[in-house]
Chains A and B, each alone.
Chain A
């Protein structure tokens, strides 16, 4: 038998069941809130009930008298020590980045901002004692509407005013494109405020031993957090260890350096005891950073045959009260995505970041790209109506043809691969597009009270964040590389250390599949380690669908180094020249003499013994690699949604949903499909259900899951998912899948609802498209046109 015939089947591409599940289905998990340390105390935070107020006095003395209370603090107790929470993305040279103390000292700027803390023996005692803290506030006027916040007479959130920055991008002669075009369509779209609602609430444990601190946190970014604690809060980096144990979902919301993390570390140092804080869901809805919240004005110019000439976008983006880790950069991630898959002559983009007295916004699943995709895919439908064209035909007329890749877009991005024709053809077939169009026609003809609508979203996104030099050119404060190391243990088992920090993505399984193929060792013999800066000292963590396209490539690069080292040792063991060896399926064999071979496990053991290594070869096969991508990756796909809209009640039912995604080479189809399902659900949630609402005084009135409608199984449809595949230009050919579903599905759903109601003259409905809003849209259009369809 030769090495090729008994080679194990490639692991990449197989639907391996997840290694992660064993502990998760039996309750053997290690959530941060599970941690109990000897002598551990509990923190409770007192939060501002005002959207905007001066703090004139804080008195914590009565809290100290309460049973079990060990300490209590107000903002002034921290002085300069508490510094300012960092913003890592100063997008323009003149951006306004106001000071953001973790605990407010003299002014609060959103409901929920921390104003005091109690430390007590248990969480009940700590919560009880909050009632004994006295705070005097002098209320100030709230600032709630970004459309009014830049007016001269608007109250100010910060002394520097309500504008944080204006960022512009332009390429081509937009004025000429609009002047000469046969058709111009302009729309205003609203991206409502969203609350991420990862199922695991945030939790923090901080323990100081002498001058070293260990911080356990439900975070996506242990490495970034360690750096931030050191760079911005003066704790020497080598004295900080951050551990992200099991983390229950993030969706961007745990991509943050939070007030509660910093304060737990500072409080732990002050009292010399380990401390824990676990948020309630209400605290979470109030103070986990929110997502979206933009007003979008989008204009598109086209020839009468549908060819797009120009696109112009003017965004107002609600920053909330402060700039957090990447707050101002989120709209920029969208800036390059408005032109999407379409060719055009000119594009201009402007974004104004505006302060309000609300919870800061920041990255939430898709971060900028769902907003952009929504606007372009919505206005493509409007343009199609204006031109009297079939919306898919309009898209096809403008999209980049498969033979045109690699293609440099009007934004200067080079899309390396894709095939929009293939994905769309497959989606149309699975969806029975023509059949549904016919049914729609019939329902309209007979005046059915339940109308059918078809929504299209032919989306792309940029992920695999990111080439470090591109991030540098956009003024981002860090690189976009990822780190990995691979350790061959003496018995032939393998430890893989990754800088990616999974919180549900299944890296332990997927990375094992990659390493199994690269090293030819069994999937079961591989363990993946992550999420602890002492075990995995280098990393850029998990967000922006970057883990596989960046972290996975770092793992491949580390495997290469192991194989290169092993080859030299194998050559010595086989008394052959390294040049004469081939490596396949975990075995080095002499070319032309497959019997003369050594497995990588044999080499690992021989390297451990180190009895007969060639001169100058160190006794280790271990390796480290840091991978910086050359380009983003560009997953794409075609999502089609059919909705039935009850015109008497406004109720929307998703009748069918088809998603055909091209995420490049698939490592594990089970995991990819799961990511697509969950992503679609989150996008549907934006379209139909969710909105973070503040009242006129700046109180969040959606602070619980009773008020903020995260959909259940009963609220969502079944999805039909398929794939097409074009290879990305990286070695694995992978693109990333974490955000695709969310980016694609929101416009697919809203386009379907509007499509159903076109006969009534409806051309837009503000999200979330609740029954009331749908019903009102029908009524007001009927009133305007003086009749019904």
Chain B
């Protein structure tokens, strides 16, 4: 067992974990952040995407011990009193159906817009290549990211 200290959605946690524990299982089972789902076991789908120190990571591909000392933002901590512009845009553009990919997609889009506040359609599609959605055909996800870009996502 290894002791880790991780800040998740603004709250500091200290836990003893097995070195093999995945960050996504730490978030879900230890911290109760079930808003972050698991969609695959090969880091292809991106459903488990969270922000670690501001950068998007697939939390199934990070060990909990690697997150020691980090600041993690999940979908549950993205809204700051009011919905984040990317969350609002996903609602407004009907960019989700079943919603299972949505937390990862929103966080990946947030990171994409931080890197590139005014992406072209092609840049959006390429930027979200690591996140799979089976419901929307991506059309409205692309529209939502454009809308969020127009609204401006800077805090």
Interchain CB contact under 8 A, B96 and A718: no
Contact B141 A713 (CB under 8 A): yes
CB < 8 Å neighbour of A705 from B40, B106, B128 = B40
Q: How large is the interface on A (under 10, 10 to 19, 20 to 34, 35 or more residues)?
A: 35 or more
B106 partner, pick from A25, A122, A280, beta carbons under 8 A = A25
Given contacts A201-B38, A680-B137, A710-B132, contact A27 B74 (CB under 8 A): yes
Q: Does A24 contact B (CB under 8 A)?
A: yes
| Contact in complex: B47, A27 (CB < 8 Å) | no
Residue B92, interface by CB 8 Å: yes
In angstroms, Cα B97 to Cα A670, docked, is: 11
Which chain B residue lies CB-closest to A281? B40
Measured CB to CB, the closest approach of chain A to B16, in angstroms, equals 14
Chain B nearest Cβ from A240, distance in angstroms: 25
Q: Which one of A331-339, A500-508, A764-772 contacts B?
A: A500-508
Contact call A199/B100, Cβ cutoff below 8 A: yes
Listed stretches A13-21, A409-417, A462-470; interface member: A13-21
Q: Does A126 contact B (CB under 8 A)?
A: no
Instruction: Considering the complex, give the chain B residue whose CB is closest to the CB of A35.
Output: B34
Contact present for B98 and A681 (CB under 8 Å): no
Known contacts A21-B91, A714-B125, A714-B129; A281 and B39 CB within 8 A of each other = yes
CB-contact partner of A704 in B44, B100, B128, under 8 A: B44
For A246, give its contact among B28, B99, B130, B136 (CB under 8 Å): B99
Segment of A150-158, A247-255, A578-586, A607-615 in the binding face:
A247-255
In the complex, which of the residues B39, B74, B79, B129 contacts A201, with contact meaning CB atoms closer than 8 Å? B39
A670 partner residues in chain B, CB cutoff 8 A: 94
Whether a CB of chain B sits under 8 angstroms from the CB of A533 is: no
**A131 close to chain B: CB less than 8 A:** no
B134, A25: Cβ atoms closer than 8 Å? no
Q: CB within 8 Å of A: which of B111-155?
A: 121, 124-126, 128-142
Residue of A122, A251, A282 touching B134 (CB-CB under 8 A): A251
Contacts of A33 in B (CB 8 A): 28, 34, 37-38
The answer to whether B138 and A248 have CB atoms under 8 Å apart is no
A224 to chain B, nearest CB (A): 20
Evaluate contact between A281 and B45: CB separation under 8 angstroms: yes
Q: Within 8 Å of chain B (Cβ to Cβ): is A5?
A: no
B18 within 8 A of A: yes
Q: If A199-B100, A249-B100 touch, does A704 touch B41 (CB 8 Å cutoff)? A: yes
Cβ of A80 within 8 Å of any chain B Cβ, yes or no, is no
Q: Which of A26, A278, A714 contacts B76 (CB 8 A)?
A: A26
Q: Does B56 contact A (CB under 8 A)?
A: no
What is the bound-complex CA distance between A678 and B95, given in angstroms? 11
Measured CB to CB, the closest approach of chain B to A581, in angstroms, equals 39
Interface residues of A in 109-143 (CB under 8 A from B): 122, 124
Interface residues of A in 226-264 (CB under 8 A from B): 246-249, 251
- Chain B min CB distance to A508 (Å): 12
Residues of B contacting A: mostly: loop
- Decide yes or no whether A719 CB sits under 8 A from chain B: yes
Instruction: Enumerate chain A residues within 8 angstroms of B28, measured Cβ to Cβ.
Output: 33-34
Q: Is the CB of B99 within 8 A of A248?
A: yes
Near B by CB (< 8 A), chain A positions 699-725 give: 704-706, 710, 712-714, 716, 718-719
CB of B42 within 8 A of CB of A281, answer: yes
Contact A24 B92 (CB under 8 A): no
Contact B98 A713 (CB under 8 A): no
| Least Cβ–Cβ distance between A84 and chain B, in angstroms | 30
Query: Within 8 Å of chain A (Cβ to Cβ): is B59?
Result: no
Kindly state the separation between the CA atoms of A437 and B142 in the bound complex, as whole angstroms: 29
Which residue of chain B has its CB nearest to the CB of A719?
Answer: B139
Question: In whole angstroms, what is the CA distance A164 to B2 when docked?
Answer: 56
List residues of chain B with CB within 8 A of the CB of A718: 121, 139, 142
Expressed in whole angstroms, the minimum distance between the Cβ of A189 and any Cβ of chain B is: 24
**Given contact pairs A27-B75, A29-B34, A504 touches B135 in the complex (Cβ within 8 A):** yes
Q: Which residue of A has the minimal Cβ distance to B20?
A: A124
Asked whether A674 is an interface residue with its Cβ less than 8 Å from the other chain, the reply is yes
A677 on the interface (CB 8 Å rule)? Answer: yes
Tell me which of B100, B128, B141, B142 contacts A31 (CB under 8 A): B100
User: Using an 8 Å CB-CB cutoff, how does the interface string of A471-510 with B read, 1 for contact, 0 for none?
Assistant: 0000000000000000000000000000000011110000
Provide the residues of chain B in CB contact with A22, threshold 8 Å: 91
A18 touches B137 (CB 8 A): no
Taking CB atoms, residues of chain A closer than 8 Å to B40 are: 281, 704-705
A197 in the interface (beta carbon within 8 A): yes
A754 at the interface (CB under 8 A from B): no
- C-alpha gap A710/B37 in the complex (Å): 18
> Is the CB–CB distance between A712 and B98 below 8 Å?
no
CB of A28 within 8 Å of the partner chain = yes
- On whether A21 and B139 interact (CB within 8 A), knowing A33-B38, A249-B134, A713-B128, the answer reads no
CB distance from A38 to the nearest CB of B (A): 15
Tell me which of A504, A716, A741 contacts B97 (CB under 8 A): A504
Cβ B34 vs Cβ A27 within 8 A: yes
Q: How far is the CA of A253 from the CA of B18 in the complex (A)?
A: 35
Chain A: CB-nearest residue to B60: A281
**With contacts A200-B39, A201-B39, A710-B134 known, is A29 near B99, CB below 8 A?**
yes
Contact between A25 and B97, CB atoms less than 8 A apart: no
- Contact between B34 and A199, CB atoms less than 8 A apart: no
Given that A674-B140, A713-B141 are contacting pairs, would A27 and B134 also be in contact in the complex, using a CB cutoff of 8 Å? no
Contact B35 A18 (CB under 8 A): no
A182 at the interface (CB under 8 A from B): no
Tell me, rounded to whole Å, the shortest Cβ–Cβ distance linking A561 to chain B.
Answer: 31
Cβ contact of B90, chosen from A21, A34, A201, cutoff 8 A: A21
Q: Is A682 an interface residue (CB 8 A)?
A: yes
Chain B residues with Cβ under 8 A from A122's Cβ?
Answer: 29
Q: Known A33-B38, A197-B134, A251-B134; judge A24-B94 contact (CB<8 A).
A: no
Chain B residues in 8 Å Cβ range of A503: 98
Contacts A34-B34, A198-B98, A704-B40 given: A25-B90 contact, CB under 8 Å?
yes
* B92 A17 Cβ-Cβ under 8 A: yes
Q: What chain B residues lie within 8 Å of A23 (beta carbons)?
A: 99
A682, B33: Cβ atoms closer than 8 Å:
no
Instruction: Say yes or no for A69: interface residue by CB 8 A criterion.
Output: no
B72 is an interface residue with CB less than 8 A from chain A: no
User: Are the C-beta atoms of A249 and B98 separated by less than 8 Å?
Assistant: yes
Q: Shortest CB–CB separation between residue A667 and chain B, in angstroms?
A: 14
Taking a contact as CB atoms under 8 Å apart, the answer to whether B137 and A248 are in contact is no
A713 to B131, CA, bound (A): 8
Q: Is the CB of B98 within 8 A of A248?
A: yes
Instruction: Decide: B41 and A677 in contact? CB cutoff 8 A.
Output: no
Is B101 located at the chain interface by the 8 A CB criterion?
yes
B138, A25: Cβ atoms under 8 Å? no
Q: Is residue A671 within 8 Å, beta carbon to beta carbon, of the partner chain?
A: yes
A21 to B137, CA, bound (A): 17
Q: Does B14 contact A (CB under 8 A)?
A: no
Known pairs A670-B94, A706-B44, A712-B131; A24 contacts B99 (CB<8 A): yes
Q: Are A504 and B132 in contact (CB-based, < 8 A)? A: no
Given contacts A248-B99, A281-B40, is CB(A719)–CB(B18) below 8 Å?
no
Q: Are B35 and A505 in contact (CB under 8 A)?
A: no
Task: Give Cα A671–Cα B91 distance, bound, in whole angstroms.
Answer: 12
Cβ–Cβ contact B74 & A719, under 8 A: no
- For B97, the closest partner residue in chain A by CB is A504
**A29 contact from B35, B94, B128, Cβ within 8 A:** B35
Q: Is the CB of B97 within 8 A of A249?
A: yes
Q: Is the CB of A25 within 8 A of B102?
A: yes
Spell out B's residues near A (CB within 8 Å). Answer: 18, 20-21, 28-29, 33-42, 44-45, 47, 74-76, 78-79, 83, 87, 90-92, 94, 96-103, 106, 121, 124-126, 128-142
CB pairs A–B below 8 angstroms (10 shown): A20-B99, A27-B33, A29-B34, A29-B99, A34-B28, A198-B100, A201-B38, A674-B94, A674-B136, A675-B97
Residues of A within 8 A of B (CB): 17-18, 20-29, 31, 33-34, 122, 124, 197-201, 246-249, 251, 278, 280-282, 503-506, 670-671, 673-675, 677-682, 704-706, 710, 712-714, 716, 718-719, 741
The 7 closest A-B pairs by CB, nearest first: A27-B35, A248-B100, A504-B98, A24-B99, A681-B137, A677-B137, A705-B44
